[in-house]
Structure 1
C-alpha cells in the first residue's frame, strides 16, 4: 500500500505582495495549496514544509532570519510537521528531506509551491529520479514574468511551459479540485 506525503515548497512571505520577490498569483496558488494541505492533515498524512534561505545576507530575497524567509501564514507548519531548510533549488540537495521521507515509509509525493520554473520543477524531477510516485498540483504553484534573450515571457506562459514539461515525462499535473475529488 502506498504512503503519501505533501511537500509544500517555498511558500514564503517574500513571494507575496509586499515581499521582496512577488510572484504572479501567489495568493491564489497559496489558497489552493492550503486546501490540499487541509486534506492531508485531515487524513493524518505526512506534511513536509520546505523553506529556502539564502546564504548571502545581501541576497535579493529569502535572507536568513528575515520575515520574508518565513513560511507564509496561509500554509504555516503545525507542531510535528517537519520543516526542511534548504539553500539550493533542489529540495533534496544537502538536506534531510530524503531521510524524513524514508523514516515515514513514504513512496508517493504530492507537490505544491513556488516557483513553478525553479524549486517546484527541481524537486519534482529529483523526486521522480529517486523513484517516488509524484503528482504536482498546478494551480497550487506560482511563478513570475521572465525575460530571455530580449523576449518577455508572461508568468502564465512560464508556468504553463514548466507544467507541460513535467506532465510530458515526469509526473501527473492536476488541479487541486481534480486531486481532491480523487482523494
Structure 2
C-alpha cells in the first residue's frame, strides 16, 4: 500500500510577495494543506535558504548568485514560510540550497524514514521548484501527483505547457478539488 506526503514548496514570504496583488492565489494551497491534514497525509514544507554570507552559492550560479550579491539577509523574514500556509507543530520545514526540493536538503531521508513513496506536489514556481522536483522525484522512482492549481508561475504560458505537455509524462496532473475528492 502506498503512503503519500504533500510537499508545499517555496511558499516563503519573499516568493509569495511577487503575487501580493492577487491574494486568492493562495487559496488552492490552503485547500490542499487542509485536505492532507484531514486525511492524515503528512505535510512537508520546503523552502530555499542559505547560511549567513551565502557560502553555498557560487558566483557562476545565475539564479542564486544575484541573491547572494543583493544584500538580503540569508536567514531573514523573506525566507520564512508565509503565515497564510503556516506549518503546524510537528510538520517538517526543510531547507534546500538549490531549485529542486531534494537539492542539499534532508527531504529524501525524511521520506524514506516515513516510508513515503508518493509525492503530491505544490509550489511556486512551476518552472522552478516544481519542475526540478518532478524530474528528480521521477528519477528516484516516486509516484507523483502535481496539483495544477496549487502551483504558480510568473509566466502563465510556461505554467500551461508544463502542466499540459511536460508533467503528464512523469506525473498525474490534477486540480486540488479532484485530488481532495479522490481521498474520500
Give the TM interval when normalised to the shorter protein: 0.7 to 0.9
Instruction: Give the corresponding residue for 2:30.
Output: 34
CA distance in 2, matches of 1:25, 1:110: 27
Instruction: Give the corresponding residue for 2:179.
Output: 179
Report SS of the residue matched to 1:79: coil
- The answer to whether the 8 Å contact 1:24/1:143 transfers is no
Structure 2 residues without counterparts, runs of 5 or longer: 58-66
> Scaled by the length of structure 1, what TM-score is found?
0.84
CA distance in 2, matches of 1:45, 1:91: 18
1:98 to 108, 111, 120: 108
CA distance in 2, matches of 1:166, 1:139: 16
Report the alpha carbon displacement of residue 60 of structure 1 after superposing the two structures with TM.
5.2
Instruction: Give the corresponding residue for 1:158.
Output: 158
Q: Give 1:1-183 correspondences, 5 Å limit.
A: 1-16=1-16, 19=17, 22-23=18-19, 27-54=23-50, 55=54, 58=68, 63-144=73-154, 155-183=155-183
- The answer to whether the 8 Å contact 1:31/1:74 transfers is no
- Structure 1 runs of 4+ aligned residues shifted over 6 Å read none
Structure 1 residues without counterparts, runs of 5 or longer: 145-154
Instruction: Give the corresponding residue for 1:150.
Output: none
Work out the number of aligned pairs and report it: 169
RMSD: 2.1
